[in-house]
């Protein structure tokens, strides 16, 4: 139907969203770095000194992939959800809806910008971690791929939340009451093998487990869940998110009256 | 995307004069079940200033929102320059600019950035010189680096206009551009709209100020209760419905109109001090001479007289009154 892309339109949305990041640089980048540092001090240095190695990796090194995932997930969701929610809230969405941009360009712009920000953040945390602990990356290419795909998936998820939420409470609710618990309980700071059997089984229903497991595998070549299963789960979640976004645009859900 | 220069006049149903927007059988029922628009048929001609006049809640914003793609129609079809606004939305939206009724802006953006953003969003390559000209024309150049939140209401409105003009649209919608704007700014707005028309832009403005439609429009559409009640050339409308009044200020007030004058369309106003005669300027005989003769015969004296064109307001009241 409309095969030609509106590249200036896509660029405008992407740059607009990135500009918002620069305007809120402190909130966007500095505060997650500070938080991560605190995690290292508390978990890595204080508690970690009392925990022996997990699967041959020191505790401080073990938590790095989980910490990065924690930030990527929360930041992707909150950035993307806020990015699309704000124009709905202020009413400036009228311009987006009346512009010659397709839903593809809108999603690429908003989700692309949110994912970019998360990816950059992931690398900043990775570099920050270097100040505290030595680590190896066994599969660097896989590591980058998982990072990128996760950032995109959760930015899509955030985009959906931003459209679904009709107020700011709901917008805050999901990152705080869904993403953070799932990440904490998803093996950010422990191996799920350490859990009693019942909890271990229950944990397998937590999609974040697969992300963290796969990501940790890319660092240390050890995983809670077989890497193949993790990858299937990651793409499954990505597919679901893409499907929901397509449905949103087809129906105009919460976008058009 | 460059605007499409290959217009297809052959596809335009209304052959004289060229149609900019064509709305047919458009209806909108909102989710709550409220019928905001019913069976709207409307042609906007290329290059004209069209005023959509109607009271609050008439459906003006809904109509504009559907044409621009912000609200989905329940049924009906709209074309802009011959292209369907839903199927060929890229083509049509590239041609259309919209200044919304509400002052919705990105508070923390600068004027320059928000206008440049709009241009990009509508598929145009950056053109700083064009944006500079637009901002200068709208007296916003001095404030180009100001955050929008620091601007006055009138300036914000102009920022929205600059955004709508940033992609050089052929058709501009102005939804209540002068609502809550003081007289001086209103005049400025009208001047700007006329200048735009001179450059070939088709302008559709909504208003509930009759004087605005009267002042600005080439044609006027009256909408009420979600239905188009009437569409006319302004001049024709004024002529057709534009009766004149002859007002006679009497020497001696009257309690009732004498029976001898019952053949004339007369009314008393101002405690019987003013006798008002309504006549049709288009009629072969207006009846003024006969009235004056009769008054003379009855020795009814008056100190002064004047005539007055019925304003659009009067027309509007009678049209809307009939339709509801
Ligand atoms: N989003 C909406 N949901 C339900 N009803 C609406 C919505 N927007 C407008 N309406 C109703 O539709 C009618 C027309 O509104 P609108 O187009 O804004 O009128 P106008 O611009 O002429 O004042 C009004 O009765 C209004 O209450
Ligand atoms: Mg309105």
Among B233, B250, B266, the domain-final residue is: B233
Which residues of chain A have a CB within 8 Å of the CB of B168? none
Q: How many CB atoms lie within 10 A of CB A247?
A: 11
In whole angstroms, give the CA distance from residue B44 to residue B203: 9
Cβ-defined contact of A97 to B70 (cutoff 8 Å): yes
Cβ-defined contact of A8 to B123 (cutoff 8 Å): yes
Nearest to B105 by CA among B152, B159, B68: B159
pTM for this entry: 0.83
Nearest to A71 by CA among A195, A199, A215: A215
> Which of B2, B69, B120 should we substitute to test contact with A (largest number of A Cβ atoms within 10 Å)?
B120
Distance of CA B322 to the CA centre of its chain: 20
What residues of B are in the A interface, CB distance below 8 Å?
1, 30-31, 65, 68-72, 87, 89-94, 96, 98, 100, 102, 104-108, 113, 116-126, 163
Q: Would you say residue A10 has pLDDT above 50?
A: yes
Q: CB-CB: which of A1, A12, A91 is closest to B117? A: A12
Whole-number pLDDT of residue B240 = 64
Q: Which two tokens stand for residue A47?
A: 């508690």
Whole-number pLDDT of residue A200 = 85
Whole-number pLDDT of residue B17 = 65
Domain annotation covers residue B256: yes
Whole-number pLDDT of residue B6 = 42
Do residues B163 and B275 both lie within one domain?
no
Which is it for strands B202-207 and B49-53: parallel, antiparallel or unpaired?
parallel
Do residues B129 and B185 both lie within one domain?
yes
Q: CB-CB: which of A11, A15, A257 is closest to B30? A: A257
In whole angstroms, give the CA distance from residue A138 to residue A149: 18
* Whole-Å CA distances, A75 to A27, A148, A168, A253, B90: 11, 13, 16, 24, 33
Nearest to B80 by CA among B98, B62, B99, B96: B96
Q: B182 by DSSP, 3-state: which? A: coil
Return the percentage of chain A with pLDDT > 70, whole number: 98
Domain annotation covers residue B4: no
Nearest to A70 by CA among A33, A45, A21: A33
The position carrying tokens 């207006």 is B286
**3-class secondary structure per residue, B19-76:** EEEEEEEEEEECCCCCEEEEEEEEEEECCCEEEEECCCCCCHHHHHHHHHCCCCCCEE
Cβ-defined contact of A94 to B163 (cutoff 8 Å): no
Among B233, B263, B288, the domain-final residue is: B233
Answer whether B134's CB lies under 8 Å from A122's CB. no
Cβ-defined contact of B123 to A23 (cutoff 8 Å): no
Do residues B216 and B254 both lie within one domain?
no
Whole-number pLDDT of residue B14 = 44
Domain annotation covers residue B8: no
Do residues B257 and B226 both lie within one domain?
no
Do residues B214 and B305 both lie within one domain?
no
* Backbone dihedral region for residue A164 (phi beyond 0: left; psi -120 to 50: alpha; all else: beta): alpha
Cβ-defined contact of A6 to B1 (cutoff 8 Å): yes
Do residues B296 and B204 both lie within one domain?
no
Between A21 and B71, name the one with better pLDDT. Answer: B71
> Which of B123, B131, B163, B167 should we substitute to test contact with A (largest number of A Cβ atoms within 10 Å)?
B123
Cβ-defined contact of B1 to A99 (cutoff 8 Å): no
Do residues B167 and B277 both lie within one domain?
no
Residues forming a β-bridge with B22: B43, B79
The CA-based angle B22-B26-B32, given to 5 degrees, is 145
Rounded to the nearest integer, the mean pLDDT of chain A is 88
Do residues B225 and B296 both lie within one domain?
no
Do residues B84 and B139 both lie within one domain?
yes
The CA-based angle B27-B164-A116, given to 5 degrees, is 100
Do residues B228 and B246 both lie within one domain?
no
Q: Would you say residue A56 has pLDDT above 70?
A: yes
Q: How many CB atoms lie within 10 A of CB B10?
A: 7
Size of interface A-B (CB pairs under 8 A): 89
Measured from the CB, is residue B200 less than 6 Å from ligand 1?
no
Write phi, then psi, for B258 (nearest 5 degrees). Answer: -55, 145
Which residues of chain A have a CB within 8 Å of the CB of B96? 98
> Which of A5, A94, A101, A248 should we substitute to test contact with B (largest number of B Cβ atoms within 10 Å)?
A94
DSSP B319: H
Whole-number pLDDT of residue B7 = 41
Domain annotation covers residue B9: no
Domain annotation covers residue B13: no
Nearest to B206 by CA among B59, B79, B84: B59
Q: Which two tokens stand for residue A247?
A: 């449905």
**Domains of chain A: which residue ranges?**
7-251
For the ranges A98-107, A127-136, B45-54, B219-228, the lowest mean pLDDT is seen at A127-136
The total domain count for chain B is 2
For B257, the enclosing helix (H) or strand (E) is: none
The position carrying tokens 């944006």 is B131
Most confident of A175-184, A215-224, B184-193, B303-312: A215-224
Chain B: closest CA distance from residue A166 (Å): 16
My answer on whether omega of the bond before B92 falls inside 30° of 0, hence cis, is no
Answer whether A234's CB lies under 8 Å from A207's CB. no
**A217: Cβ–Cβ under 8 A, 6 or more apart, which residues?**
A138, A139, A142, A223, A227, A230
Q: Would you say residue A97 has pLDDT above 90?
A: yes
Q: CB-CB: which of B69, B98, B120 is closest to A8? A: B120
Q: List, run by run, the mean pLDDT of 10-residue segments along chain B (324 residues).
A: 40 61 97 94 96 92 96 96 94 96 91 97 96 94 96 92 96 91 82 93 91 88 92 81 81 89 87 87 80 90 84 68 64
Whole-number pLDDT of residue A187 = 85
Residues forming a β-bridge with B250: B302
Domain span at residue B39? 19-233
Q: B274 by DSSP, 3-state: which? A: strand
Do residues B218 and B248 both lie within one domain?
no
Among B208, B233, B258, the domain-final residue is: B233
Residue with CA nearest ligand 1 atom 2: B30
Do residues B183 and B283 both lie within one domain?
no
Cβ-defined contact of A256 to B68 (cutoff 8 Å): no
Whole-number pLDDT of residue B310 = 67
Chain B: closest CA distance from residue A108 (Å): 13
Q: B239 by DSSP, 3-state: which? A: helix
Measured from the CB, is residue A98 less than 6 Å from ligand 1?
no
In whole angstroms, give the CA distance from residue A107 to residue A249: 10
User: Could you give the maximum distance between any two Cα atoms of chain A, in Å?
Assistant: 62
Measured from the CB, is residue B60 less than 6 Å from ligand 1?
yes
* Backbone dihedral region for residue A252 (phi beyond 0: left; psi -120 to 50: alpha; all else: beta): left
């Amino acid at each position: 139907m409309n095969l030609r892309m509106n590249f200036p339109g896509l660029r405008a949305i992407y740059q607009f969203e990135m500009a918002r990041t620069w305007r809120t640089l402190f909130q966007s980048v500095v505060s997650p770095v500070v938080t991560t540092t605190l995690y290292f001090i508390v978990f890595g240095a204080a508690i970690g000194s009392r925990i022996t190695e997990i699967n041959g990796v020191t505790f401080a090194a073990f938590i790095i992939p989980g910490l990065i995932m924690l930030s990527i997930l929360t930041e992707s969701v909150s950035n993307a959800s806020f990015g699309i929610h704000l124009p709905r809230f202020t009413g400036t969405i009228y311009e987006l809806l009346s512009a010659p941009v397709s839903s593809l360009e809108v999603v690429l712009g908003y989700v692309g910008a949110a994912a970019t920000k998360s990816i950059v953040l992931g690398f900043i945390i990775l570099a920050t971690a270097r100040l505290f602990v030595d680590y190896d990356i066994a599969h660097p290419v896989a590591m980058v791929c998982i990072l990128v795909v996760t950032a995109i998936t959760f930015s899509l998820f955030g985009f959906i939340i931003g459209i679904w939420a009709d107020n700011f409470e709901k917008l805050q609710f999901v990152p705080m009451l869904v993403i953070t618990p799932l990440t904490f309980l998803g093996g950010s700071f422990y191996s799920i093998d350490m859990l009693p059997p019942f909890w271990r089984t229950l944990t397998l229903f937590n999609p974040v487990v697969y992300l963290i497991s796969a990501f940790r595998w890319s660092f240390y070549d050890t995983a809670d869940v077989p890497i193949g299963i993790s990858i299937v789960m990651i793409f499954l979640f990505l597919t679901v998110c893409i499907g929901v976004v397509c449905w949103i645009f087809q129906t105009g859900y919460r976008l058009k009256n | 995307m460059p605007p499409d220069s290959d217009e297809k006049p052959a596809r335009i149903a209304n052959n004289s004069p060229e149609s900019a927007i064509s709305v047919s059988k458009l209806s909108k029922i909102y989710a709550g079940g409220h019928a905001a628009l019913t069976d709207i048929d409307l042609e906007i001609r290329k290059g004209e200033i069209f005023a959509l006049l109607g009271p609050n809640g008439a459906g003006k914003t809904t109509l504009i929102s559907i044409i621009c793609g912000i609200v989905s129609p329940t049924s009906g079809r709209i074309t802009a320059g011959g292209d369907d606004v839903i199927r060929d939305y890229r083509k049509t939206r590239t041609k259309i600019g919209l200044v919304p009724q509400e002052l919705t802006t990105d508070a923390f953006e600068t004027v320059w950035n928000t206008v440049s953003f709009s241009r990009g969003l509508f598929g145009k390559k950056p053109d700083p010189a064009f944006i500079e000209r637009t901002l200068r024309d709208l007296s916003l150049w001095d404030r180009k680096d100001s955050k929008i939140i620091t601007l006055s209401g009138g300036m914000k409105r102009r920022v929205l206009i600059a955004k709508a003009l940033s992609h050089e649209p052929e058709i501009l919608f102005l939804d209540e551009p002068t609502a809550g704007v003081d007289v001086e700014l209103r005049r400025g707005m009208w001047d700007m709209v006329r200048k735009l028309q001179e450059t070939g832009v088709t302008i559709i403005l909504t208003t509930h100020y009759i004087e605005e439609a009267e002042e600005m429009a080439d044609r006027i559409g009256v909408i009420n209760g979600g239905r188009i009640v009437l569409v006319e050339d302004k001049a024709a409308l004024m002529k057709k419905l534009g009766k004149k009044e002859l007002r006679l200020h009497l020497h001696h007030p009257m309690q009732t109109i004498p029976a001898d004058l019952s053949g004339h369309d007369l009314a008393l106003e101002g405690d019987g001090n003013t006798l008002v005669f309504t006549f049709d300027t288009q009629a072969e005989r207006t009846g003024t001479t006969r009235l004056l003769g009769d008054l003379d015969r009855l020795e009814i004296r008056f100190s002064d007289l004047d005539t007055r064109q019925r304003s659009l307001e009067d027309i509007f009241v009678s049209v809307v009154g009939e339709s509801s």
